[in-house]
């Protein structure tokens, strides 16, 4: 997997990569299809839906605990900016790049190590 300076993954024909969702979402093993219109690249993850500052303002530790109940991870004030709701829906992100990558396998999040 090759990551460019802009954060996009290389998605050349047959090249494998991983596209992660948020700390509470699934991730995807993908194979590039070599779409020249995208410079043979794809997104490198879900991407933020809001700033870290906004996430810290909007959500609580209890929100973090609830949103990551199915994941073994930190659940404290130091990671509220990583709360799943601060990120875009990974399913929508993947649907938007169907012409860039083929999903080979879907991974269910069970552990997330942050900080």
Spatial contact of 30 and 78, defined as CB atoms under 8 Å apart: no
**Is there a domain that residue 38 lies in?**
yes
pLDDT band at residue 113, thresholds of 50, 70 and 90?
Answer: confident
The whole-number pLDDT of residue 64 equals: 96
Please give the average per-residue pLDDT across 76-104, as a whole number.
96
pLDDT digit string, tens, across residues 13-25: 999 999 999 888 9
**Exposed e or buried b per residue across 29-56, where buried means at least 16 C-beta atoms within 10 angstroms of its C-beta:** ebbbbebeebebbbbbbbeeebeeeebb
Which of 21, 24, 41, 44 is the catalytic position?
44
Give the structural domain span for 45: 9-107
In the annotation, is 44 catalytic? yes
**Is there a domain that residue 4 lies in?**
no
Which residue in the block uniquely carries the two structure tokens 């992660």? 20
What's the number of domains the chain is made of?
Answer: 1
């Amino acid at each position: 997997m090759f990551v460019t300076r802009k954060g996009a993954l290389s998605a050349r024909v047959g090249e494998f990569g991983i596209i992660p969702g948020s700390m509470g979402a699934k991730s995807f093993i993908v194979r590039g299809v070599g779409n020249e219109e995208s410079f043979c690249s794809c997104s490198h993850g879900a991407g933020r839906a809001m700033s870290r500052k906004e996430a810290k303002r909007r959500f609580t530790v209890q929100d973090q605990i609830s949103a990551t109940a199915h994941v073994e991870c930190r659940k404290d004030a130091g990671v509220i900016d990583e709360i799943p709701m601060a990120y875009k829906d990974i399913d929508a992100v993947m649907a938007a790049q169907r012409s860039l990558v083929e999903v080979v396998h879907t991974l269910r999040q069970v552990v997330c190590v942050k900080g």
